[in-house]
Amino acid sequence: MRVIIRTPNWLGDAVFNLPFIIAVSKKQEVTIVCKEYLRELFWGFPTISFNSNSELYKKHLKIGKKYDYYIVTPISFSSALAAFLSRTPERIGFSLDARDFLLTKRIKIPREWKERHTTETYALLYQELINEDKVKFELEIPEKYKLSASEILSSFDLLDKPYVCFSPFAQFGRAKEWGEENFMELANLLAKHGIKSVILGSKGDVKRSEIFKGVNYVNLTGKTSLWEAAEIARKGLAFIGGDSGLTHLSAMVGAKTIAIFGPTPVSWTSPIGKDVTIFYKKLNCSPCEKRECPLRTKECMKLVKPAEVFEVIRQRL
């Protein structure tokens, strides 16, 4: 059977779907529909990528019943419309009144969906194609990215040296960021033990990352691919980040992950991995799920102190 899967637009949600996609691909022929910037995440799969809805619709009009089954993971009207335009006979997605007529099978979103991990909700979309017990929430980094990541580490004399990875930035908004000053204080603590701090981020983060300069840092922001960043994180003593896509990917490839949460629900979006430590100082106002702190204090993030995070890393030395 030929299956087409429209992934979420956010990296973190796309990472949460990847184990399901891999499980489906073991028995079915899978094609991915995703935002252009997510193409690399789905390396090895045939991909239909797009940058705008108009481009998405045009490409789907050309599909012409090529597939048997279409899984729509986003809850947007546009994603369901694209599936409808593809003329795929079976189209499954979450039920929302405005778009239900575009789908052939509608899955009701559980009332308690924010009280359970988001992977449990996504699993409902895949249940007809796979046994959930067979899904492994562990990702293997493609060999070519392992090799190129080693070359990057070697070029900065880090291949056999201790280092910790920082992911200071978040796409969703600054409320989820721990703050440059906290990362810098942590870097100073690490430097006293001869440990470098490696800064990871996208090309869009380059300007902001310039604050991390000096002998304590190796700034790789915008200089790696997504999988290279994950491999560099996996090889380090630890990876520290907020509720971000790179945090979720790093955890799932086996990096020793320290996640700092505040405005987003831990129950819903906690990283999945073999070695994950979560710092979460729950306040009356959290989780607010806002892009910017409504109180302009970011107190939920400030309460996590660099010394606490360092102690977790120190235990691994």
Give the per-residue pLDDT at 115. 86
Mean pLDDT of the region 20-35: 98
Q: What domains does the chain contain, in order, with CATH numbers?
A: 2-134 (3.40.50.2000), 143-314 (3.40.50.2000)
Give the per-residue pLDDT at 19. 98
The proportion of the chain whose per-residue pLDDT surpasses 90, expressed as a percent, equals: 94
HSE on the CB side for 29, CA within 13 Å?
A: 6
User: Over the chain, what is the mean pLDDT?
Assistant: 96
Q: Angle 172-146-12 (CA atoms, 0-180°, nearest 5)? A: 20
Residue (of 283, 235, 247, 240) closest to 262 by Cα position? 283
Model pLDDT for residues 232-290, shown as the tens digit of each residue: 999 999 999 999 999 999 999 999 999 999 999 999 999 999 999 999 999 999 999 99
Q: Which long-range contacts (CB under 8 A, 24 or more apart) does 30-36 make?
A: 30/3, 30/4, 30/5, 31/2, 31/3, 31/4, 31/5, 31/67, 32/4, 32/5, 32/7, 33/4, 33/5, 33/6, 33/7, 33/82, 34/6, 34/7, 35/7, 35/9
Model pLDDT for residues 163-193, shown as the tens digit of each residue: 999 999 998 789 999 999 999 999 999 999 9
Q: How confident is the model at residue 317 (pLDDT cuts 50, 70, 90)?
A: confident
Give the per-residue pLDDT at 291. 93
Give the per-residue pLDDT at 109. 94
Model pLDDT for residues 67-120, shown as the tens digit of each residue: 999 999 999 999 999 999 999 999 999 999 899 999 999 999 998 888 899 999
